[in-house]
Amino acid sequence: MKLQEKILKTAKETISIEAKAIANLENFIDNEFAEAVEKIYQTKGRVIVTGIGKSAIIATKIVATLNSTGTPAIFMHAADAIHGDLGTIQQDDLVICISKSGNSPEIKVLVPYIKDFKNLLIGITADRDSFLGRESNYVLNSFVEMEACPNNLAPTTSTTAQMVIGDAMAICLLRLKGFSRKDFAKYHPGGSLGKKLYLRVSDISKQNMKPEVSPETSVTDAIIEISEKMLGVCAVIEDDKIIGIITDGDIRRMLKNNTEFKNLTARDIMSKAPKTIDEDALAVDALEMLETNEISQLLAVKNHKYAGVVHIHNLIREGIL
């Protein structure tokens, strides 16, 4: 077998093994899972997520997901916990402990302290009969038949299963809290994701010049207006209302069909009923309109009056596209 063929075969086998294990997790989603999520939803404190080794790495990801979806969470490394970090746990906090075997030495030391503190303990483990499984108030079963590792040793399928259990919890909590796009935006203000969630049409249109002409403006002056405002478009305004739009494409079509245009006006060459969008709409909605209609510009409106222009290049610069 050629090297590339071997690589492709191994990669596909890995994905197949993990996919089957994840699909099988549905069989473990039962009333105990629902009760555990309900306890998290009702807790007055924070969710402390702990683990050791690769499970600790998964714990940090679950904490990040919970925090970003409205459930306050803190990561506590199981090894550090028994060397001073137990003070992280406060009276009203709930603890989630992650361990595939449920019998790691650090877990066996840590769990009794959590029990002594009277904090509710939720265990995520592949072995319900393990130390963690027996001592937890609720057990979320993350059992997998085998690791993707050919030696069945390196945590692969098992850590993927742990992460999926964490995602399932987070999304259940998100639904219970009625966590909206607006809530999500508050926790994700940075980067392109944040901009998709909070950047509005007005944030973009106000950065641009505002090209406009009247219906009786000469084509020559309309071309000058389009060129000076550098957006490839101008609105045609009559009685404070948008009655049309002139784009670079309209100018090209006019030149193709008319050798003489000094007597033509904006009304003669404009496109009627242009696409508009409210300036309070999200920029990502503007992008959807542009793509759906296969156009490059939209006219922004406020209270049905012309407010400016949004160009697809604006959205590219902002990282929306």
> pLDDT tens digits for 137-190?
999 999 999 999 999 999 999 999 999 999 999 999 999 999 887 777 677 666
Q: CB–CB of 115/135 below 8 Å?
A: yes
What is the residue extent of each domain of the chain? 3-179, 201-317
pTM beyond 0.85: no
Question: Which burial class, exposed, middle or buried, applies to 304 when counting CB atoms under 10 A from its CB (0-12, 13-18, 19+)?
Answer: exposed
257 vs 281, higher pLDDT = 281
Residues tagged in the binding site annotation for Zn(2+): 77
Residue 192 has pLDDT above 70, yes or no: no
Residue 253 has pLDDT above 90, yes or no: no
Mean pLDDT of 180-202: 74
Q: What Å distances lie between residue 254 and 185, 219, 232, 267, 296, CA to CA?
A: 45, 10, 15, 12, 19
Mean pLDDT of all residues belonging to the chain:
92
pLDDT in tens, 258-313: 767 778 899 999 999 899 999 999 888 998 999 999 999 999 999 989 999 999 99
Residue 218 has pLDDT above 80, yes or no: yes
Q: What is the CATH number of domain 3-179?
A: 3.40.50.10490
What class has domain 201-317? alpha beta
Residues tagged in the binding site annotation: 77
pLDDT at 199: 85
Residue 56 has pLDDT above 70, yes or no: yes
